[in-house]
Amino acid sequence: PSALRCGPPGVLRPPALRSGRTAMGLSDLFGGKAASGASGAAVTLPADSAPSWADLKAAVAATPAGEMLGEERALQAKGLGPPHTDARLRLFGAKSESEVRVTLFRDTAAWCPYCQKVWLLLEEKRIPYRLDKINMRSYGDKPRWFLDKVPNGLLPAIEIDGNFMTDSLPIMQALDQTFSGEGTPRMVPPPGPERDRASKLLGLERELFGAWCSLTFQPGKGLMDRNERAFMATLRRVDEALGESTGPWFLDSADHPTLVDLQYVSHVERMLASALYWKGIQIRGSGRFSNLEAWLAAFEERPAYLATKSDYYTHVMDIPPQYGPGFSVDEAREAAAAIDGRGGSWSLPLDLQGSAFEPLAPLQAALGDAAARHEAAFELVANHAAVVRFAARGTGAPGRKRFQAPLADPYATPNEQAVAAVDVCLRHVAAALISGAEETAAAAEADLAAVKGADGGRALSACLIYLRDRIGVPRDMSQPAAMNLRAHLNALIALC
């Protein structure tokens, strides 16, 4: 369940807060509505040389990446095209929406590991489905219509032919059984040795999950590093189990990921980030788990997985509100700084091959820097009015109702007296993403010169930081695009 807590109850403040970071969870960042305004300190920029939003829209649309993204969005509106977090209808082989039998209810911010499993299974089996996004309780209210259908509010939930289910594993089993026609990949092997092996592997996954919880959500690494040793020993057993199959997947009977692989991958993805961030344990790239490395590489060759995959920063921000606080050790400081943007990791120029701590998937890295910049610009320009007002919350009024994710504040209101200046700043950011920071830096610096180092500059910096720290992957954009947007925001913050 999405609200599962492994750590000590009652402690909601994650260690990341100590460095000025906190969990995200604001569902209206790049796809929502602008809130009504609040009053705050006035910020005025006497100069505005940034291109207009209309000009920026035309410029990004003319890039190869912008043209491709525009075509993909048009296809997605029809239930077609590649997988994407915002695709509300997936037709696959269905002729029209009237033939769609499944509705998936998953979390708005794409935090929930259990939702990710079901989402992946639908994509891998190419089952036509509708999507409704629902807030997790940690970052927002659930709509009444959903609670009328699912009184306990649990995610994921699914409707198949009018029947509702919750709990990811039974959902995946039901989907595999219901949609098992010829040419549809089977996710559960038939009765026999492979079914028995699958059952044992699912038990091992629960052991790994328990060992991860004991390590991550308790201080230190356990008495005489007991929790670390138990986690690593269980991970080695997982690696050995992968080595028993002839291909990259857990089961020999399939040339595609099965239910077993999907059950593992969403939490392994989160383990890679959290073990490094809080405990200084590098799993990927360590040379200790070659079969796991091959398994992860095989997943990263699949577009469906990349569409659901988060980056480490998003994970270390979204884990505490769902499970409880992670406890840091001194050995993790360097990795934690790289993950949450301290120490220059969110600065230009970027290395889109990724860091030693967090390599980019080859399919994403191969697209190159320009494509990543242009994707970030495309998303920013497409919803600029809401994003500007969202950023202006940085000096606005917090909402009266608060949520478990500390800065999840969907009822916050922007500082109306900062909106115009924030708009100028974000147009400069979009221009830099499209044309390159070196081409646009002088104009941005000239426009901000009047407020640099003054109260107005500090207010603008607060607004841009507010936005930067809430960019989520994949909710808002892909990992390489998010890397670029965070770094370009930092470049403008430096001018304030």
Strand order in the sheet with 157-160: 89-90, 129-134, 102-107, 157-160, 163-166
Instruction: Give me the DSSP letters along 245-304.
Output: SSSSSS-TT-SS--HHHHHHHHHHHHHHHHHHHHH----TTSSS-HHHHHHHHHHTT-HH
pLDDT of residue 18: 28
Give SS3 for 134: strand
- 256 torsion bin: left (phi>0), alpha (psi -120 to 50), beta (else): beta
Give SS3 for 115: helix
pLDDT of residue 13: 24
- C-alpha to C-alpha distance for 83 and 356, rounded to whole angstroms: 28
pLDDT of residue 26: 33
CB 26 within 8 A of CB 470: yes
pLDDT of residue 408: 86
Task: Report phi then psi at 413, rounded to 5.
Answer: -125, 145
Cα-based distances in Å from 273 to 42, 277, 313, 336: 40, 6, 8, 9
pLDDT tens string, the chain, 496 residues long: the values are 222 223 222 222 223 322 333 333 333 444 444 444 445 778 999 999 999 999 999 999 999 999 999 999 999 999 999 999 999 999 998 999 999 999 999 999 999 999 999 999 999 999 999 999 999 999 999 999 999 999 999 999 999 999 999 999 999 999 999 999 877 899 999 999 999 999 999 999 999 999 999 999 999 998 889 999 999 999 999 999 999 999 999 998 788 999 999 999 999 999 999 999 999 999 999 999 999 999 999 999 999 999 999 999 999 999 999 999 999 999 999 999 999 998 788 999 998 876 778 989 999 999 999 999 999 999 999 999 999 999 999 999 999 898 888 768 899 999 999 999 999 999 999 999 999 999 999 999 999 999 999 999 999 999 999 999 999 999 999 999 999 999 999 999 999 9
DSSP tag of 167: S
Give the list of residues 6+ apart from residue 38 with CB closer than 8 angstroms, or none.
Answer: 396, 397, 413, 414, 415, 416
- C-alpha to C-alpha distance for 310 and 466, rounded to whole angstroms: 20
pLDDT of residue 155: 97
Quick one: tokens of 249? 């997947």
Candidates 379, 353, 377, 373; CA nearest to 364 is 353
Residue 157: in which H helix or E strand, if any? strand 157-160
pLDDT of residue 352: 80
CB 263 within 8 A of CB 169: yes
The H-assigned helical ranges of 324-403 are: 333-339, 362-365, 368-382, 384-391
Q: At what angle do helices 455-468 and 479-493 cross, to 10 degrees?
A: 170
Candidates 137, 173, 131, 133; CA nearest to 152 is 137
State CA 279 to chain mean position distance: 21
Torsion of CA 24, 25, 28, 30, to 10 degrees: 50
pLDDT of residue 404: 86
Number of C-alpha atoms within 13 angstroms, CB side, residue 426? 30
- C-alpha to C-alpha distance for 121 and 436, rounded to whole angstroms: 39
Give the list of residues 6+ apart from residue 210 with CB closer than 8 angstroms, or none.
Answer: none
Cα-based distances in Å from 274 to 157, 216, 493: 26, 7, 28
Candidates 240, 12, 329, 262; CA nearest to 115 is 262
Amino acid identity of residue 389, one-letter, is R
Number of C-alpha atoms within 13 angstroms, CB side, residue 478? 27
Give the list of residues 6+ apart from residue 57 with CB closer than 8 angstroms, or none.
Answer: 381, 382
Sort strands 129-134 and 102-107 into parallel, antiparallel or unpaired. Answer: parallel
CB 349 within 8 A of CB 359: no
